[in-house]
Amino acid sequence: MKGRIHHKLSGWAVALALSLTMACAAKAQPLSAQPFKIIVPAAAGGALDLISRVLVNSVSDQFKQGAYVENRPGANWVIGMNAVAKSPPDGYTLLLVSTSGFSINPHVFKNVPPVSDFTPITTTTKGAFILLVNPKLGVKDIASFVALLKANPGKYNHASNSATTKLLSEFFKSQAGVDYVDINYRGASLAVNDTFMGVTDFCFVDYGSATNVLQDRSLLPLAVTSNGRYELSPEIPPLSDVLPGFSVDGGTTLFGPANMNRDLLTYLHGLFTTALKSEDVLTRFRAIGQIPRGADPQETARDLAVEVDRWANLIKEKNIKLE
């Protein structure tokens, strides 16, 4: 998979298209005064939880539509995702999850529900990962960092801290033609701390987890993984400057159960895209390294299909196992 990303539709992408088609078949079922809930398949306090609560508050304030967040952590997000997949498609139970919930997790973890069990509503945020390097390495830019790794295969250590950063690291190795040791950590804060202490030499972390480092410059923010400059830190170059086409999104997506009807889907999409345009949401998202997006269901499905193929091919090529 060197130097290219496969774009042909996988089985997962076909399932997404079928989900959207079936969503158009039924009669409208508008929401009543009954509050709906967003299930977050992760513990309270993390980025997914914060994004969900900001959206719920905005929807409640603007539309007087009751809504709340319910955390269902555990089993690599499977518990929360299953709870939504098994719910009726009436709009009262929704799922907010990172893109990796469908593009990565089904390929490396067991019992993840298929994307055909869900209806995409909107891409809620786009994000980026950032490459943080210990200053003691003596590199000044991406090119010199890649050159250092190429000259010393297997010598340096990377602090992986999630399924996504592990796969991102493998993608970087593949595209840059380098090799190093991945050390797994339970969370970005631990990865950042050990990179600062010199236990590891560098780490990819989500942008929000790098906020303090960007302020105190204790680690060198060498590059971002966005497609072009990331608007929250335009001074940091993208990896694509040296590795053309390299792009990894750290965004989030809102789903409902499969077979949600078209009018209900349109209504929910309108609720959340309106919320995403508010200044309060923009400010709160920026504080945690996220940018509101609001893509329509079809664009959301297409974007996810590209991500599914990218990671499925890499996982197969490298025979990656995370369990």
> What are 286-321's pLDDT values in tens digits?
988 899 999 999 999 999 988 888 888 888 888 877
Q: Is residue 60 part of a domain?
A: yes
Kindly tell me if the per-residue pLDDT of 76 is higher than 60: yes
CB within 8 A of 312, min separation 6: which ones?
A: 10, 12, 107
Integer Cα distance of 247 and 264 in angstroms: 33
Sheet holding 291-292, edge to edge: 67-71, 36-40, 93-98, 252-257, 118-126, 291-292
Is 51 within 8 Å of 96 (Cβ atoms)? yes
Domain with residue 149: its CATH number is 3.40.190.10
The residue with greater pLDDT, 136 or 208, is 136
**Are 255 and 151 members of one domain?**
no
Q: Is residue 6 part of a domain?
A: no
Q: How many CB atoms lie within 10 A of CB 90?
A: 16
* Same structural domain, 292 and 310: yes
Using the 3D structure, point to which of 223, 241, 259 is the last residue of a domain: 241
CB neighbours of residue 207 within 10 Å: 25
The pLDDT of 152-164, averaged and rounded, is 94
- β-pairing, 291-292 with 129-133? unpaired
Claim to verify: residue 134 and residue 269 sit in the same structural domain: no
3-state secondary structure of 109: coil
% of the chain surpassing 90 pLDDT: 63
Binned at pLDDT 50, 70 and 90, residue 53 comes out as very high
Check if the beta carbon of residue 269 is closer than 8 Å to that of residue 297: yes
Note whether 33 and 177 are same-domain residues. Answer: no
Sheet holding 202-206, edge to edge: 181-184, 157-160, 202-206, 129-133, 220-224
Is residue 189 included in any domain, yes or no?
yes
Helices 262-276 and 47-63 meet at what angle, rounded to 10?
100
Q: Mean pLDDT score of the chain, rounded to an integer?
A: 88
Alpha carbon distance 287, 160 (integer Å): 23
Tell me: do 21 and 88 sit in the same domain: yes
Mean pLDDT of 75-80: 90
Q: Is residue 4 part of a domain?
A: no
Residues 311 and 211 in one domain: no
Token pair 């493998």 in the structure block, residue: 170
pLDDT given for residue 239 in this prediction:
96
The reported pLDDT for the residue numbered 317 is: 85
Q: Looking at 202, 221, 241, which one is the last position of a domain?
A: 241
Show which of 211, 241, 271 is a domain's final residue: 241
Q: Which of 96-110, 114-128, 260-274 has the lowest mean pLDDT?
A: 96-110
103 lies in the same domain as 136: no
Is the pLDDT at 30 greater than 70? The verdict is no
In a domain, 323, yes or no: no
Whether 88 maps to a domain, the answer reads: yes
The pLDDT confidence band at residue 177, using thresholds 50, 70 and 90, is very high
* Predicted pLDDT at 11: 52
Let me know: does 68 contact 99? Beta carbons within 8 Å.
no
Domain span at residue 111 reads 11-127+250-318
Residues 51 and 158 occupy one common structural domain:
no
CATH no. for residue 269?
Answer: 3.40.190.150
Q: Quote the pTM value.
A: 0.82
In a domain, 2, yes or no: no
CB 100 within 8 A of CB 204: no
Outline where the chain has alpha helix (H). Answer: 11-23, 47-63, 78-85, 100-103, 105-108, 142-151, 163-176, 188-197, 211-216, 262-276, 279-287, 297-318
Taking only the tens place, the pLDDT of each residue in 241-287 is 999 989 998 889 999 999 999 999 999 999 999 999 999 999 999 98
Q: DSSP labels for 262-275?
A: HHHHHHHHHHHHHH
Say yes or no to pLDDT of 130 above 90. Answer: yes
Q: Given pLDDT bands bounded at 50, 70 and 90, which one contains residue 168?
A: very high
Helix residue ranges, H only, 64-204 = 78-85, 100-103, 105-108, 142-151, 163-176, 188-197
217 with 266, same domain: the answer is: no
Same domain, yes or no, for 228 and 283? no
Residues 157 and 60 placed together within one structural domain of the fold: no
| Distance between CA atoms of residues 219 and 195, nearest Å | 8
pLDDT at 96 over 70: yes
Within a domain: 302: yes
| Total number of domains in the chain | 2
Q: Please check whether residues 79 and 158 belong to one and the same domain.
A: no
User: How far is Cα 289 from Cα 50, in angstroms, rounded to an integer?
Assistant: 11
* DSSP letter assigned to residue 120: E
Give the C-alpha separation, 3 to 115, whole Å: 27
